[in-house]
Structure 1
Amino acid sequence: MNPAHWPREHPEANRLLHVSPSSGRISDRRVEHLPELLRSGDLLVVNDAATLPSSLHGLTVAGGPIELRLLAREEEGTWTAVLFGAGDWRMRTEDRPAPPLLTVGTQLVLGTLKACVVEVLPPSPRLLRVAFEAQGAELWAGLYRSGKPVQYSYLSGPLALWHIQTAYAARPWAAEAPSAGLPLTWALLLELRRRGVRFASLTHAAGLSSTGDAALDAALPRPERFELPASTVEAIHATRASGGRVVAVGTTVVRALEGRAAQAGGRLTAGEGVTDLLMGPGFIPKVVSGLLTGVHEPATSHYMLLQAFAPLALLREAAQIAEKRGYLGHEFGDSCLILDA
C-alpha cells in the first residue's frame, strides 16, 4: 500500500473504509461521513496526548554522530530511547548505518542538551535508558529547542511540530503522533456532537512504530503508560448502560481501555497505569465496541489488534479493497472504521 507523503490540507476529506464485522459489508466513504456512521448516544474516545519533538541529533563524547529517538519517559525521570547511527529521516530506518555500541556512563551531546546512558536494555543494544543533565522546565525547553518530530523516508519534506498534533492535543506524552485522530477536525467533532455523539478522552504515551532493528520491532509496542480520567470512565459506563457504543480513535485508546479492564478483572476504573496488553484473534473486548484507525499493512502489530474486532478473512478482504482502490497508508493516510452498521 502506498504511503501518504504529506499531511492533507483538508484531512476530514480523507477516504474512510467502513468495515461492518457482523454483516461482512465493506463500504467506501470519507472521514467527513463519520456523523452518518455513528449514532446518537455513541461515545467517541480519543487519545489527547500531544506529540513530542522526540528526535534528537547529536554526538557521543568520542565525536560519533548519532540520533536518539525518545520512546517514553519513566517514572523516576529517566527516558527510554532508541539509538540510531549517522543519517536522518531521508534514509530508510533499516538502511541507516549501525550506531556505536554504547556502555553505561557514556555521555551524549544532543543539541543544547546533555544526557548519560544509565542502562542498556534487552532485546537490543540500541535500546537505552538515559538521564538528562537538565531537569524540569530547563529540560522541556531544551527538548523543544533541539528536538524534531520523528519521521520516515516516505515523507516528502521535513515536518514541523504542528503537523503531528491532533486538534485536541494536550499533555506532551507521545513519541509519535496518535495518528488515527489527525483527520478529526473541530468542525467534524462539533458536527458529531450536534448529532448526539459524545466525546471523551484519555492520555496514552504512544511509542515508536518502527526502528529498523528486527529484534526491537518485534518487541513493539513496549509497555506504555496512560491516564484514564474519572469523567471518561463515567461517560463509558453511561454509554454502555444506555445501549450506546464506545468507539476508540486509534489502537492506543484500545490498549489503554482494554488493558485497564484486564488488569481489574473486567472492571474499568480511573487512574494512571501501564499497559502491556497485546490483542489479537480470540481476544474479546470488554469495553470497546468499534475502532477508527489508519489503514494498516497486514504484517504490522496494529493489524493483529484489529483481529479482536473483525475476522481475519474480512480484514484481508478490506486490505485488498483498500489496495485496489488506492487508499494511502501511514500516519497521514486514509482511515478505516471497524464498527457494525
Structure 2
Amino acid sequence: MNALAMKFEIPEQLNAAKPPERRGIRRDFVRMMVLNKNNGEVDHSTFFNLDQYLKKGDVLVLNNSRTVPAILNAKQLRSNKMIDPKVEIRLAHRKSEDRWEALIVSENVVEGDRLNFSSKLSATIIINGTREPFYILEFSLSNAQLYNEIYNLGEPVRYEYIEGEWGLDYYQTVYASVPGSVEMPSAGRAFSWELLLKLQRKGVKVAFIQLHTGLSYLLDDKYHQAPSENTESYQIPTETVELIQKAKETGGRVVAVGTTVVRALETAVNKHGDLIEKSGWTNLYITKNYPLKVVDGLITGLHEPEASHLQLLSAFIDEENLMGAYHQAINESYLWHEFGDMNLIL
C-alpha cells in the first residue's frame, strides 16, 4: 500500500485551510466522492445528498466523543523553583479521573516537576515507562472539575495548514456529547441535525459508539508512533449492538462514520464474529488483509499519502481503485483534511 500511496501528492491549494462555514457554505454542503467498493466506480455529489445513497434499514454509526481543547500552557516548577514560565502541554489520552497521558514540549523535564496551569489547577509529572515521548500528568482536580478547567484554559489542536485560530466549536461534531477526544473525530463534522433528520425520516437508523481519539501530531520527526501504538479508549453500548444485529438480520448495511468507528466496532467482536457490548482500549490496525466482520460501508474524509487511514480504507475497496479515485479527487479539486470534503465507500 505504501508504494501506491506514494504516487500522489496533494497540491497546497487543496488543503482545506478554513472551515466550510468560513468559505461561504454550510458544513453539510461540502462535496462528497462516492466509491462503489465492488467495482471502483466513482460518483461525485454533495454531502447533503447522502440520503440518496443510503436505504431504509441501514444503520449509520456515529462517534459521539467530544473534542477537548488539548493544548495547555503552564508554569514549570522544580522544588518550588521556576524552570520555565511557559511550557506547552498537549494532552494525549485520559487514563483515569485525574490522570492524562501528555506530550510536554520541553527538553527539560524531570519526574516530580510541578505544572501550574492556573490558581485552580496544577499537575505533577510522572515518568511514563516506555511510552516516550509521553508523560503522565496527575492533576489536582478530577472528573467534571478537571474538564471544566481544561475547557476554560485550553486551545484545540491545530495543524500547520490551517489559516486562523478557529475556536473549539469549529472542531466539534453537532452530536458530540462525551468529552475525551484530543483531535476531532472529523468524519462526522459534515453532519447537521437537518441531514440526520432527513436520513431518519427515510428509515435509516442512527446509532452511537464512543472512541476518544488520541494525539497523533507529535511535533518532532524523531518521535514516530506506529499505528499499532495508537491505543484509544472506546465503548460500544447495548442499544447500538441491538440496532446493528437487527440490520444484519434484515439486510441492512452498517455504515461507519469515520475510521474511529470502524476500529471500535471491529474490536468489539467475539470469537464467533458477533458484535458485543464492550468497552476498553483498542490498538486494532486494519489493513487490506483484514476481514471486516461488522462494517459494510464507510464515510470518511480524504487522507494524506502514507497515512495509516489509507490502509484501513483498503480493507473496503481494492487499492488500485482507491488510488484511482484519489487521483480523480485531486483532478476535481476536492479539499483535504478535517475542514475538507467527504468520501463515501459503499
Please give the TM-score of this superposition, normalised by the length of structure 1: 0.90
Structure 2: which amino acid aligns with 1:193? Q
Alignment of 1:97-112 (within 5 A): 99-112=106-119
Q: Of 239, 259, 280, which aligns to 2:267?
A: 259
Unaligned segments of structure 2, at least 5 residues: 1-9, 78-82
Structure 2: which amino acid aligns with 1:162? D
Alignment of 1:46-65 (within 5 A): 46-61=62-77, 62-63=83-84, 65=86
Counterpart position of 1:120: 128
Give CA-to-partner distance per residue, 1:158-187, whole Å, 9 cap, x none.
121211111111110111111000001011
1:101, CA displacement in angstroms?
Answer: 3.5
Counterpart position of 1:40: 56
Q: Of 321, 325, 340, which aligns to 2:332?
A: 325
Counterpart position of 2:96: 75
Structure 1: which amino acid aligns with 2:255? V
Tell me how far apart the structure 1 counterparts of residues 204 and 147 of structure 2 sit (CA, whole Å).
36
Q: Of 5, 10, 23, which aligns to 2:39?
A: 23
Counterpart position of 2:3: none
1:154 and 2:161 aligned: yes
8 Å Cα contact 1:19/1:27 also seen in 2: yes
The 3 A distance-change label for structure 1 pair 106 and 268 is same
Structure 1: which amino acid aligns with 2:191? L
1:267, CA displacement in angstroms?
Answer: 2.2
8 Å Cα contact 1:295/1:329 also seen in 2: yes
Tell me how far apart the structure 1 counterparts of residues 243 and 208 of structure 2 sit (CA, whole Å).
10
1:237 and 2:245 aligned: yes
Alignment of 1:131-142 (within 5 A): 131-142=138-149
1:213 and 2:213 aligned: no
The 3 A distance-change label for structure 1 pair 209 and 28 is farther
Tell me how far apart the structure 1 counterparts of residues 108 and 287 of structure 2 sit (CA, whole Å).
35
Alignment of 1:166-245 (within 5 A): 166-214=173-221, 216-220=223-227, 222-245=230-253
8 Å Cα contact 2:40/2:318 also seen in 1: no
* SS at structure 1 position matched to 2:101: strand
1:115, CA displacement in angstroms?
Answer: 1.2
Structure 2: which amino acid aligns with 1:68? I
Tell me how far apart the structure 2 counterparts of residues 17 and 266 of structure 1 sit (CA, whole Å).
31
1:111, CA displacement in angstroms?
Answer: 4.0
Please give the TM-score of this superposition, normalised by the length of structure 2: 0.89
Give CA-to-partner distance per residue, 1:233-285, whole Å, 9 cap, x none.
00000001001100000000000000111x65522111322111000111010
1:109, CA displacement in angstroms?
Answer: 2.2
The 3 A distance-change label for structure 1 pair 151 and 136 is same
* SS at structure 2 position matched to 1:81: strand
Query: Identical aligned pairs, as a percentage?
Result: 36
8 Å Cα contact 1:123/1:215 also seen in 2: no
Size of the aligned set, in residue pairs, is 323
Tell me how far apart the structure 2 counterparts of residues 213 and 237 of structure 1 sit (CA, whole Å).
44
Q: Of 292, 306, 324, which aligns to 2:299?
A: 292
Structure 2: which amino acid aligns with 1:272? S
Tell me how far apart the structure 2 counterparts of residues 12 and 136 of structure 1 sit (CA, whole Å).
33
Tell me how far apart the structure 2 counterparts of residues 72 and 229 of structure 1 sit (CA, whole Å).
21
Counterpart position of 2:4: none
Tell me how far apart the structure 2 counterparts of residues 109 and 265 of structure 1 sit (CA, whole Å).
50
Tell me how far apart the structure 2 counterparts of residues 248 and 214 of structure 1 sit (CA, whole Å).
31
1:247 and 2:259 aligned: no
Tell me how far apart the structure 2 counterparts of residues 130 and 265 of structure 1 sit (CA, whole Å).
39
Tell me how far apart the structure 2 counterparts of residues 70 and 171 of structure 1 sit (CA, whole Å).
16
8 Å Cα contact 2:111/2:127 also seen in 1: yes
1:12, CA displacement in angstroms?
Answer: 1.1
* SS at structure 2 position matched to 1:75: coil
* SS at structure 2 position matched to 1:139: helix
Unaligned segments of structure 1, at least 5 residues: 85-98
1:121, CA displacement in angstroms?
Answer: 4.3
Counterpart position of 2:16: 4
8 Å Cα contact 2:98/2:141 also seen in 1: no
Tell me how far apart the structure 1 counterparts of residues 108 and 325 of structure 2 sit (CA, whole Å).
43
Tell me how far apart the structure 1 counterparts of residues 20 and 249 of structure 2 sit (CA, whole Å).
38
Counterpart position of 2:87: 66
